[in-house]
Copies of this chain bind each other. A is one copy, B any other.
Amino acid sequence: MTSSASLYEQYCEHMRRIADVRYAAAVLQWDQETYMPAKGAAGRARQLATLSETAHEMATAPSFEQLVNELSQRSDLSQVQQKNVSLTLEDLTRQKKLSGAFVRKLSEAVSKAFNSWVAARKQNNFSVFESDLEQLVALKRESAELYGYEGHPYNALTYEFERSVTVEKLDKVFASVIPSLQEVIAKQGKEPEVDNDFLREFYPKNIQWEWGMWLVRELGFDLEAGRQDVSVHPFTTNFSAKDVRITTRIDENDFANMTWSCIHETGHALYEQGLPDSEYGLPSGEFSSLSIHESQSRLWENCVGRNLAFWKNYLPELQSYFPEQLQHITIQEFYKGINKVQPSFIRTEADEVTYHFHVYIRYQIEKDLIGGALAVKDIPARWNELYKQHLGVVVPDDIHGCLQDVHWSHGSFGYFPTYSLGSFYAAQFWAQAQKDIPALQKEELNETALAQLLGWLRKHIHSHGRLKDSELLCSSVTGESLNVSYFLDYVKGKF
């Protein structure tokens, strides 16, 4: 009988090779969104489809399945090894439900939809995107049937991003959060209006870029193990823990856009750079779930990056980049300005309170798309109706409406809810971090305090990879499972 150690090493090497192909696809996607010339799209779509299919075939190869099954029977593996094997077996069982040809078709449909989303944005016209999105939604509905589900078909898709999440749970979570947030908004509406016009002065592109690069470095992003570029929609991707890429976008008439996207994506990037590189390709080297990933970006973006103590320390530095625009702004004016609660159109630019209405709206739409209750052609009308209903705003056009997010063009349905869950986890982690790290309660959040926070996150969250799922991670870090009252307390305390 082959020794377990030797079988496990065979398993690891095969997993690393699957990761090689997946990360190669990620490089091609990153290039597609940053540097690829327009006419390269068709070739790139083919190449991505072949890599997806190849990775899928490697991950579901019968000989590999046999190996994983055999390993799952072995009792002389370490706990970490056992966990890796059992997670791989779960993944494999799920992936097997799609054929290689279906995966290829899906990948081709995604590339097509992504390119027509870009084109539709240029023309500010949803109908340019419509038919490719229709095809993609049809394939995602088909994949839900292939995966199988209990309850709502949407549950088959959320599983990919956050295993324990279902429509039933999400409805409950939103029901417990949305009314409280409505109260906060109503209360804010009665206060005198905050003036944050200073954020819409002219902020030159090249200086914003320099400031953003300074900032991401200051937060701890290792630029020898990553880089930042510009794309239509900011994102983070990685090709190993030693090569993590973030992107941003710059609006010369909106200072907030780039700065908080830099902080947000750095939060994601710090997680990826903190995963154990020695576990490349294994579950123990991967992030826990998308909600946990988002908890990292939202913790840095909001709990840190919209914190008074943070800007007490960093506003002078920022003013040295933009003396003309910001010299005359006091720390209180700045803090109030960057935390103005105001219903708006664009999710990524929303304040911490109204943000969750943006997510909730998307959640309702995609649940209905996957459930078959909403047709793709009716998205714009439904979108605009929900924005009117929940946020009281009249969406002027598709680019400020249903064309703003890249996710659906990527075929990512069931992803948005992790944005809210991530914020809720973030508040809970932040509360714990403040208990554990005295420096965080000080008047100024400086470099030392940030480094201690990063060390704490590395130790308690990043280093565990996928060995703990969201719930287990949350309990082991904070002593209880997800509890939205941390988030509500945080919001009520702040606003």
Contacts and interface: CB of A to CB of B under 8 A. Distances in A.
Contacts of A24: 24-25, 27-28, 47, 50-51
A355 B227 CA distance: 38
A134 interface: no
Nearest to A281: B46
A43 interface: yes
A39 B239 contact: no
Contacts of A28: 24, 27
A40 B223 contact: no
A42 B17 CA distance: 14
B240 A43 contact: yes
Centre residue among A16, A46, A226 by max chain B CB count within 10 A = A46
Interface string A430-457: 0000000000000000000000000000
Interface in A2-61: 16-17, 20-21, 23-25, 27-28, 31, 35-40, 42-44, 46-47, 49-51, 54
Nearest to A30: B31
B31 A27 contact: yes
A300 interface: no
A458 interface: no
B225 A46 contact: no
Contact of A47 (B23, B38, B40, B227): B23
Given A21-B50, A37-B223, A50-B21, A42 B242 contact: yes
Contacts of A142: none
A47 B20 contact: yes
Contact of A227 (B35, B46, B51, B222): B35
Contacts of A39: 222, 224-225, 242-243
Contacts of A40: 225, 239-240, 242-243
A280 interface: yes
Interface in A170-210: none
Contacts of A35: 227, 229
Given A31-B27, A35-B227, A243 B43 contact: yes
A146 to B, nearest CB: 23
Given A21-B54, A27-B27, A37-B223, A280 B43 contact: yes
B20 A51 contact: yes
A60 to B, nearest CB: 16
B37 A23 contact: no
A43 B227 contact: no
A21 B52 CA distance: 11
A50 B17 contact: yes
Contact of A21 (B51, B223, B226): B51
Contacts of A229: 35
A50 B54 CA distance: 11
Centre residue among A38, A39, A222, A280 by max chain B CB count within 10 A = A39
A267 to B, nearest CB: 19
Given A24-B50, A27-B31, 11 more contacts: A23-B43, A24-B24, A27-B28, A37-B223, A37-B225, A39-B222, A40-B240, A42-B240, A42-B242, A43-B243, A44-B243
Interface of A: 16-17, 20-21, 23-25, 27-28, 31, 35-40, 42-44, 46-47, 49-51, 54, 222-227, 229, 239-240, 242-243, 280
10 contacts: A21-B50, A21-B51, A31-B31, A37-B223, A37-B242, A39-B224, A43-B240, A43-B242, A44-B239, A47-B239
